[in-house]
Amino acid sequence: MKVYLGIDVGSVSTNLVAMSENGEIRENIYLRTQGQPIVTVTRGLKMIEESLGSSCKVKGVGTTGSARYLTAAIVGADAVKNEITAHAVAASYLVPGVQTVLEIGGQDSKIIILRNGVVVDFAMNTVCAAGTGSFLDQQAARLNIPIEKFGELALKARTPVRIAGRCSVFAESDMIHKQQMGHRLEDIIAGLCEALVRNYLNNVGKGKEILPPVVFQGGVAANAGMRQAFAKALETDIIVPRYYNVMGAVGAALLAKEAVQKSGKTKFYGFELTNFTYDASSFECKGCANLCEVIEIRREEEVLARWGDRCGKWSNILSSTATG
């Protein structure tokens, strides 16, 4: 079997996808990053290798997410792209004709506007936690409700209460106030979902032309209450793709395929890369007044990659060594 790998490494989750040459998802893995992206990526690759068998051949690898450069250095990636590109590519592939992508992950959220398959506008919210997966996790834990049941309870609401969702602190204190007033838990949870959707549309989606088909992806798309709240606010159907929680990795795999078709061969180091130890460090270059922080990734004693130097003084040394 020949596959393309997509790896999406974020602050909360690390997602890996193995896609066959004809675009079929053969394996998808969702792992908690737990502050250890290198360990999590190598663990995910071992799981992919075990699942697909030793006869599996990797034809290309793409990386995305906040740790995309680090991951690219470790695995030998053929394509390194930002999350906007990766999510847009995946959404267009799985839902042809999509015009709006709503994406809410563990600690950030984004909106992508596409027209005729091309990204024409986007916005990200990486500052406020209100509405992200981590905030919903916190509220579920505070209410002693499994996060998997959160959306299910929201659908049982009779009269959703109005919750102040502009920020996570206000939302939590308002939920407590509504509980003390005796409102039903289902109505409070549904009210929270509606408040978070209002917050999302007023901040991330502000000024955007949201047209159907609308795709909702990211881990929060599993929450039926949030899906219903978006459908109600936008007055349109909300499409949740089958691989909604690993869409960044799906996009990275597709981009890897495109990159390898141009280059003719992959840079992937092979699954043996999981047997090595890796070390990330940084130093301050004192070559000029910029005082750049240069990131250095080592595999055992070998320097794999450097970046962060504006002039290319350190990264170019490595590139010329590799070329030579």
Length of the chain: 324
Average pLDDT over residues 144-168: 83
Q: According to the model, what pLDDT value does residue 150 have?
A: 82
Identify whether residues 46 and 62 lie together within a single domain. Answer: yes
Instruction: Tell me which of 146 and 234 has the higher pLDDT.
Output: 234
What backbone phi and psi angles, to 5 degrees, belong to 239? -100, 125
Is residue 181 domain-resident? Answer: yes
Mean pLDDT of 134-158: 84
Q: What are the φ/ψ torsions at residue 303 (nearest 5 degrees)?
A: -80, 120
Mean pLDDT, the chain, rounded, equals 89
Considering the domain boundaries, does residue 162 fall inside one? yes
CA–centroid distance for 25 within its chain: 17
- The pLDDT of residue 322 is 47
* Positive or negative: CA dihedral 182, 183, 186, 190: negative
pLDDT tens digits for range 89-145 = 999 999 999 999 999 887 788 999 999 999 999 998 755 655 677 788 888 888 888
Same domain, 132 and 203: yes
| 77 vs 152: CA distance, rounded Å | 40
| Same domain for 109 and 8 | no
Q: Are residues 234 and 253 in the same domain?
A: no
In terms of domains, do 30 and 136 share one?
A: no
Question: Which pLDDT band holds residue 324 (cuts at 50, 70, 90)?
Answer: very low
pLDDT in tens, 197-256: 988 898 899 889 999 999 999 988 999 999 999 999 999 999 999 999 999 999 999 999
Tell whether 272 is covered by a domain.
Answer: no
Average pLDDT over residues 177-186: 86
Strands (E) across the chain are located at: 2-9, 13-20, 25-32, 57-64, 79-80, 100-104, 109-115, 118-125, 214-217, 238-239, 278-284, 293-299, 302-307
Higher-pLDDT residue of 165 and 153 is 153
The answer to whether 65 touches 273, Cβ cutoff 8 Å, is: no
Which range has the top average pLDDT, 11-15, 54-58, 119-123? 119-123
Count helices and strands in the chain by DSSP H and E runs = 10, 13
Asked if the structure places residue 269 within a domain, the reply is no
β-bridge pairing 109-115 and 100-104: antiparallel
Give the structural domain span for 81.
2-88+248-263
- Percent of residues, the chain, with pLDDT higher than 90: 53
Do 222 and 109 fall within a single domain? Answer: yes
User: Domain check: are 256 and 233 in the same one?
Assistant: no
Say if residue 81 is in the same domain as residue 123. Answer: no
Quick one: 182 and 231 in the same domain? yes
Smallest Cα–Cα separation from 65: which of 124, 117, 2?
Answer: 124
Within-domain flag for 271: no
Which residues, 6 or more positions from 103, have their beta carbon under 8 angstroms from its beta carbon? 83, 87, 109, 110, 111, 112, 216, 217, 218, 247
| Domain identity same for 116 and 196 | yes
Give the per-residue pLDDT at 131: 61
CATH classification at residue 194: 3.30.420.40
pTM for the whole thing? 0.86
Asked whether residue 268 is domain-assigned, the answer is no
Burial status of residue 167 (CB atoms within 10 A of its CB: 0-12, 13-18, 19 or more): middle
- pLDDT, tens digit (0-9, with 9 covering 90-100), for 259-280: 999 999 999 999 999 999 898 8
Same domain, 254 and 293: no
Contacts of 289 (CB under 8 A, 6+ apart): none
**Residue 177 within any structural domain of the chain:** yes
pLDDT of residue 78: 96
Tell me: the pLDDT tens digits for 279-297?
Answer: 888 999 998 988 999 988 8
Residue 187, in any domain of the structure: yes
β 278-284/293-299 pair status: antiparallel
Q: For residues 126 and 207, state if they share a domain.
A: yes
Per-residue confidence (pLDDT) for residue 146, from 0 to 100: 83
Residue 323: the pLDDT is 40
Domains of the chain: total: 3
